[in-house]
Amino acid sequence: MIGIFDSGVGGMTVARAIEQLCPGLPFIYLGDIARTPYGSKSSETIIRYSMRNTDFLLEKGAKLIVIACNSASSTAAKALRSHYDIPIIDVISPAAEKAARTSTSGRIGVVGTRATIESDVYRKRIQDISPNAQVYGQACPLFVPLVEEGWLSQRETKMIVKKYLQPLRGKQVDTLVLGCTHYPLLKNVIGPRIGKGVSLIDSSIETAKHLKIFLDNHPELVEDITSTTTSHFYVTDLTQPAQALASKIFGRKINLEKTDV
């Protein structure tokens, strides 16, 4: 069983990409809606929540953890890896690798929550691969509330996207990492506003690809995993907007089960 957690519903874009790339692979998803969002909270608090989420998934039988949240990946992945003795996949490395491979000019932009951008982890990971890359981060704290409000293509959304991206346009990046699992839902608004020639890197899709390769290389894990039950979606709080967004991401009705962690 694969365990996936996120601060809320955004990480379902990762779960959805995994479902499409690894059909038949069951997972347990935990969305910590009772404490969402993580991106505006301190590292200490995000680490504490991430450990609780991981404990819950392990109790449910997870053999591998996917941190489907850029804020948690950027601040808590190290703490989780040193604390737990199972494979832990974060969303940062796959997106950073793809960005480093994609950029030809070496000028790469990263958009994310305040926690993700302040951690500076994308710059470090990208420069581990391409030491000469110039990485420009831009925190976009209003993107998550806009997505959660369902304002995916409103005029106000377009203006806010344009405003946040303005500094990155000045840097003439040729690659932009969507460093938050909510942001793929704004892809059609972000694309034209960062510029035609700029490649968008979707951390959700890259993470699913990375997981697939990891499982191909660890067939014993897959054997163990696929012998078990169907996927489940747990949330620490149940609200109508979360239910609607979950169904929007999957394109079908998703049954969210309330739990405490």
Residues designated as active site: 69, 180
Task: Confirm or reject binding of residue 34 to a copy of itself (CB under 8 A).
Answer: yes
Task: Confirm or reject binding of residue 148 to a copy of itself (CB under 8 A).
Answer: yes
Pick one of 163, 216, 226, 257: the residue that binds a copy of itself (CB under 8 A). Answer: 163
Task: Confirm or reject binding of residue 105 to a copy of itself (CB under 8 A).
Answer: no
Q: In what order do the strands lie in the sheet with 27-31?
A: 88-90, 64-67, 2-6, 27-31, 232-235, 256-258
DSSP conformation class of 209: H
Tokens 């990155």 map to which residue?
Answer: 168
Token pair for 239: 């609200």
The residues near 229 (Cβ < 8 Å, ≥ 6 apart) are 1, 26
Tokens 């959700």 map to which residue?
Answer: 204
Least spacing, CB of residue 142 vs a copy of itself, in Å: 6
Task: Confirm or reject binding of residue 40 to a copy of itself (CB under 8 A).
Answer: yes
3-state helix, strand, coil in the chain (%, to 5): 50, 15, 30
- Residue 221 or 244: the one with the smaller Cβ distance to a copy of itself is 244
Residues 111-140 that bind a copy of itself (CB under 8 A): 114
- Residue 45 or 127: the one with the smaller Cβ distance to a copy of itself is 45
Task: Confirm or reject binding of residue 33 to a copy of itself (CB under 8 A).
Answer: yes
Pick one of 160, 173, 211, 246: the residue that binds a copy of itself (CB under 8 A). Answer: 160
Q: In this chain, which stretch among 17-25, 53-61, 98-106, 142-150 interacts with a copy of itself, using CB under 8 A?
A: 142-150
- Residue 66 or 111: the one with the smaller Cβ distance to a copy of itself is 111
Helix 219-226 to helix 203-217 angle, to the nearest 10 degrees?
100
Q: Among residues 202, 152, 252, 225, which one has the least CA distance to residue 4?
A: 225
Task: Confirm or reject binding of residue 238 to a copy of itself (CB under 8 A).
Answer: yes
Length of the chain, in residues:
261
Q: Which residues bind a copy of itself (CB under 8 A)?
A: 33-35, 40-42, 44-45, 114, 141-142, 145-146, 148-149, 151, 155-156, 159-160, 163, 236-239, 241
